[in-house]
Structure 1
Amino acid sequence: MPGKERLYKLSVLAYLILWFTGCFWLMAAISSGLFEHALGIDLVLLKDYIYYGAAGAIGGTLYAMRLFHQFYDSLTERWVLWYLLRPINCAGAAVMTIILFESGVMLLQTGNSVLAKIGIAFLVGFGYGKVMDKLKSVTETLFNGKSDSDSSDADRQSKP
């Protein structure tokens, strides 16, 4: 069993390092114009969103590498899946969060600065769990008309 555990650890570490360095490389490649057209898609139109996704993945991967180091001795198969999905989830969440800010659904003043949005995307990736909690709260408020805290208050008031 120790051989399997060691293989998991080396695989997770290699995967996270590839994501971390690969996202920096992707941002540099896009910036240099290396991928102006790929697979029939004009990537120049999507350049900013690729930056946001890569920055979110960098933030999420950095957080995952910190936890990997901190909990190295307690890695289980369950957590391997968490490590594998973390950069992907963070990239998607970063792009969608920036879109929510740009659309005005969520309020945050960033202006038109791409660098500020890249910074926010990084923070979304790094703080992915907290962002998901906030999005859940916003969704509850928008679509149920009340948040969890409101329903808890109502439950407490209705009890004798």
Structure 2
Amino acid sequence: MFKKDLLYKLGIAVYLIVWYVGSFWMMAALQSGLFGHLFGVDWSVVHEYAYYALAGGIGGTLYALRLFHEYYDQLSERWLFWYLLRPIKCAGAAVMTIILFQSGILLLQTGDSVLAKIGIAFLVGFGYGKVMDKLKSLAETLFNGKSGGSSDTKGPQAPGKTVWDEDETPK
């Protein structure tokens, strides 16, 4: 029948395409008021944040589709969860980044335009890795009192705890 790796590749391709097309469809459905009150949520209140999440998901999915195409022959089971989690992580990061901009913690002058924020959310999803590097640097500056991206800024460590390096793998 099918080889195992071919099934993984097919599954990833279908999953990413459903996320990509589905996110555009969800934006249109939210704009049309299709959902109203669903799952106990008044979507008219949070529709802007749903747009940001969907735009971040679109950006992350587009990036994942590009990498899927570029590295199709090198795809292994090891990358399965990266592809599965990418749109979800990008959607969450997009919403939180917009909230950080709105709160004034991160400074970027976009005005109050929803379209500008949707554009930023897309870029956050597309450039997720770089955004996470910047947020990590910001968190280290805010909470350790030190600036810079060096790995010495980890702060005190409790006895018996593992120190994690930059890519979050155990040392």
TM-score under structure 1 length normalisation: 0.91
Judge which range, 35-44 or 45-54, deviates more. 35-44
| Residue equivalent to 1:83 | 83
| Residue equivalent to 1:28 | 28
- For structure 1, which runs of at least 5 residues remain unmatched after alignment? 153-160
Map Cα deviations across residues 133-155 of structure 1 (whole Å, 9 max, x no partner). 00000000000011345777xxx
Following TM superposition, by how much is the alpha carbon of 1:70 offset from its aligned partner in structure 2, in angstroms?
A: 0.3
| Residue equivalent to 1:42 | 42
CA RMSD of aligned residues (A): 1.5
| Residue equivalent to 2:162 | none
| Residue equivalent to 1:100 | 100
Q: How many residue pairs get matched? A: 152
Following TM superposition, by how much is the alpha carbon of 1:125 offset from its aligned partner in structure 2, in angstroms?
A: 0.1
Q: Give aligned-pair identity as a percent.
A: 69
CA distance in 1, matches of 2:121, 2:144: 28
| Residue equivalent to 2:113 | 113
Runs of 4 or more consecutive aligned structure 1 residues displaced over 6 Å after TM superposition: none
CA distance in 2, matches of 1:11, 1:136: 32
- For structure 2, which runs of at least 5 residues remain unmatched after alignment? 153-171
CA distance in 1, matches of 2:106, 2:56: 18
Q: Aligned runs of 1:131-150 on 2, under 5 Å?
A: 131-149=131-149
CA distance in 2, matches of 1:51, 1:72: 30
CA distance in 1, matches of 2:150, 2:18: 43
Map Cα deviations across residues 90-142 of structure 1 (whole Å, 9 max, x no partner). 00000000000000011011111000000000000000000000000000000
Aligned residue type for 1:132: M
TM-score under structure 2 length normalisation: 0.86
CA distance in 1, matches of 2:140, 2:80: 31
| Residue equivalent to 1:8 | 8
Higher fraction of helix: 1
